[in-house]
Amino acid sequence: MTQLLVEGVSRQFPGRRGAGPTRALEPTTIAVEKNDFITVLGPSGCGKSTLLRIVAGLDRPTTGRVMLDGREVKGPGADRGMVFQSYTLFPWLTVAENIAFGLAERGMPEKERAEIVADYVQKVGLRGFEHHWPKQLSGGMQQRTAIARALANDPEILLLDEPFGALDTQTRGLMQEMLLAIWEREKKTVMFVTHDIEEAIFLASRVIVMTARPGRIKTEIAVDLPHPRDYHMKTTAAFSELKARLTEEIRAEAVLAATEH
Amino acid sequence: MKPLEPVGNTAKIVLGILFFVMLFAGWSFATFGGYVSKTFLADPVTMLHDGVELFVRYDFLHDIGMTVWRVLGGFVLATVVAVPLGIAMGAYKPVEAFFEPFVSFARYLPASAFIPLLILWAGTGEVQKLLVIFIGSVFQIVLMVAVSIGATRRDLVEAAYTLGARDRGIVARVMLPANAPEIAEILRLVLGWAWTYVIVAELIGASSGIGHMIVDSQALLATGQIIFGIIVIGVIGLVSDFLFKAANHRLFPWKFA
C-alpha cells in the first residue's frame, strides 16, 4: 500500500538581484510503501534536502503535491517526524523533556508521557542521561535523542535529513545500526536523505539516486540484502557490488556538481 | 602577557582589589598632599565621615529607599509593557512593521529631555519620577527583546513544527524559553541605564532621593557627601547586578551547565 506519494513535485527559488530563478528540484515523483525504508542519495546541492523539506511541509513545492495516506500535505505536522542534520534539541529541556515535547504539545497527561519517554530512552540507549541538558551530550547522543523525540510522537513517516552527517565515521556506523535495529523491530515508513553511498545501501530497501542540480531522479536501485543487517553486511560481496554500481552512478553527478561551482 | 591566556583565581581577585587600592591611594595623595583644594574634592576620610553623618543626621537611608523604589517601580512598569510587546513584535512581523518605526524613533528621545514636560504634566511627585524611568527604559527593552525573539534559531522552530506544535505553542514554548536568558540579560543591562535616569530625575524638582541629596550637597560644597552618594549608587548597582546574575544561574541552569 502506498503511504507517501510525491507527485510531480518541483521547486524553484526566486532569483536574487536580477539573476534568474534557481531550479533546485525538477518535477519528481516517488511512491513510498508503508513500512518501507528508502534512502535518497545525491551529491550536495542536488535538492534532496529540499525534497525532504517539502514532504515535511516546511517548504512548499512550486508544482506538484505531496500526499500522505491520501491527504495532501499543506504544512508541517506531527504525522511526519523529522530529524535534522543540525542539532535541533531544545537546549532548555532535558533529554527526557525533549523526547516528551511532541506528546506534551498534544496534551498527553504527564504519566502516559513518562512511560513512552522511558521506552524510547531505552531504545536509543540513553538510560542514565534522561536529566542531562543537550549541551552535556556528544553529537551522537544528541542525534539519538532527536530520533527518539521524533519516534515518540509515533509519526506515520520518519524523515531524516543527513542526520549522521556531522558525526565521525565510527559513531555514524553505530548510529546506522541503532536506527536499523529500531526499524527492523517496529517497522515504520522511513525516508532518509544522505550523500554517503554506504549509508544509503546499508539502511535502505530502495535507494533513489538523484542528479546534480537541478535535481531529478536518475535511477532507483532495490537493495535485496537480508535483514537483520549489522556491520558485517558492509564487507559482503553483494554489498560491494551495489556500492560499485552506485559509485558509478553518483560519480558522474559529483563531477558535474563540482565543475558547476 | 599572552593574548587570551586565562588568569588564575587568586591573581584575578588581587588585581581587581588592587585597582581600588590604587584609586584610593591616588585620591589620598592628591587631597592629603594638598594638591587639590578641599573645596573641590574632599579627602577619603572626610568623605567617610560625611557618609556616616548622612545616615545619622540626615536620614540618608530614606533617600536610598526612595531612589531604589523609583528605579524598581519605573523599571517594572517598563518591563511589564515592553517584554510582551517585544515578544509580539519579534514573533509576528505585521506587529513589528506597525510598531518598529515608532519605537526606533522613540528610543533616541533622551529621557532627561522629557523631565520639564513631565513636570508640567505630572508635577514633581512620584508619578513624574516613575515616568522618566519608564520612558527611558521601555523603548530600549521593546527593541532588544524583539530582536532577540526574531533571531530565534529557525531550525528549532521547524523542529517544533514537525513535532506538532501550533503557532501559539511556537511562541510560548520555543521562542520564549529559547530567549529567556537573553531577555534577562537585556533587563539587567537596562536596569543599569535606569539608574542613571533616576538620578537625573532627582536632580530636578525632587525633595528626596540620592540625586536630591547630591544637588543639596553641591549647594553646600559638601563634596564628601556627593562622592559618598555616588559610591552608594555604584554599590547598589553592583549588588543588583550580582543578584541578577545569581537569579539567571538559578533560572536557566541549561545555559550554564
Beta bridge partners of A234: none
Residues in chain A closer than 8 A to B249 (CB atoms) = none
Strands ordered across the beta sheet of A63-68:
A22-33, A2-13, A63-68, A71-72
- The alpha carbon of residue B147 is apart from the nearest alpha carbon of chain A, in Å, by 20
Report the pLDDT value the prediction gives residue A260, as an integer from 0 to 100: 65
Report the pLDDT value the prediction gives residue A249, as an integer from 0 to 100: 84
Q: Which residue type is seen at A185?
A: R
Strands (E), A21-88: 22-33, 37-41, 63-68, 71-72, 80-83
Residues in chain A closer than 8 A to B180 (CB atoms) = 92
| Cα A238-A241-A245 angle, rounded to 5 deg | 140
Is the pLDDT reported for residue A251 higher than 90? no
Average pLDDT value for residue range B207-232: 89
Average pLDDT value for residue range A60-85: 93
Is the pLDDT reported for residue A87 higher than 90? yes
Report d(CA A252, CA A174) in Å as an integer.
Answer: 29
Average pLDDT value for residue range B35-64: 89
Beta bridge partners of A11: A25
Distance of CA A71 to the CA centre of its chain: 21
Residues in chain A closer than 8 A to B158 (CB atoms) = 58, 76, 82, 84, 88
Query: Best mutation site among A101, A103, A153 for testing chain B: the one with the most B CBs within 10 Å?
Result: A101
Tell me the pLDDT tens digit for each residue of B12-31. Answer: 999 999 999 999 999 999 99
pTM for the complete prediction?
0.87
Residue spans of the domains in chain B: they are 44-256
Query: Best mutation site among A60, A90, A108, A120 for testing chain B: the one with the most B CBs within 10 Å?
Result: A90
- The alpha carbon of residue B245 is apart from the nearest alpha carbon of chain A, in Å, by 18
List all residues 6 or more positions away from B169 whose beta carbon is below 8 Å from its beta carbon.
A105, B160
Report the pLDDT value the prediction gives residue B182, as an integer from 0 to 100: 95
Is the pLDDT reported for residue A261 higher than 60? no
Does A105 touch chain B if contact means CB atoms closer than 8 Å? yes
Q: Are strands A189-194 and A157-161 parallel, antiparallel or unpaired?
A: parallel
Q: Could you say which of A77, A90, A92 has the minimum Cβ distance to residue B164?
A: A77
Q: What is the CATH number of domain B44-256?
A: 1.10.3720.10
Q: Could you say which of B163, B252, B253 has the minimum Cβ distance to residue A153?
A: B163
Q: What's the mean pLDDT when you consider all of chain A?
A: 91
Average pLDDT value for residue range A178-195: 92
Going by pLDDT thresholds of 50, 70 and 90, the confidence category of residue B220 is confident
Does A163 touch chain B if contact means CB atoms closer than 8 Å? no
* Cα distances (angstroms) measured from residue A21 to each of A14, A57, B12, B144: 4, 21, 57, 35
Residues 43-82 of A with CB under 8 A from B: 56-58, 75-78, 80-82
List all residues 6 or more positions away from B243 whose beta carbon is below 8 Å from its beta carbon.
none
ipTM rounded to 2 decimals: 0.91
Does A106 touch chain B if contact means CB atoms closer than 8 Å? yes
Share of chain B above pLDDT 90, in %: 65
Residues in chain B closer than 8 A to A134 (CB atoms) = 254
Is the pLDDT reported for residue A120 higher than 80? yes
List all residues 6 or more positions away from B219 whose beta carbon is below 8 Å from its beta carbon.
none
Structural domains in chain A, CATH included, are 2-84+155-260 (3.40.50.300)
Residues 159-198 of B with CB under 8 A from A: 159-166, 169, 173-174, 177-178, 180
Does A90 touch chain B if contact means CB atoms closer than 8 Å? yes
Going by pLDDT thresholds of 50, 70 and 90, the confidence category of residue A256 is confident
- The alpha carbon of residue A94 is apart from the nearest alpha carbon of chain B, in Å, by 8
Is the pLDDT reported for residue A137 higher than 80? yes
Residues in chain B closer than 8 A to A84 (CB atoms) = 155, 158-159
Are B162 and A81 a contacting pair at CB < 8 A? yes
Average pLDDT value for residue range B187-216: 89
- Residue A67 C-alpha cell reads as 500526499
- List the single residue in A with minimal CA-CA distance to B256: A135
Tell me the pLDDT tens digit for each residue of B105-153. Answer: 998 888 888 888 888 888 888 899 999 999 999 999 999 999 999 999 9
Report d(CA B70, CA B67) in Å as an integer.
Answer: 5
Of B205, B193, B84, the C-alpha closest to B146 is B84
Are A78 and B163 a contacting pair at CB < 8 A? yes
- Residue B241 C-alpha cell reads as 547586578
Average pLDDT value for residue range A69-91: 93
Are B254 and A150 a contacting pair at CB < 8 A? no
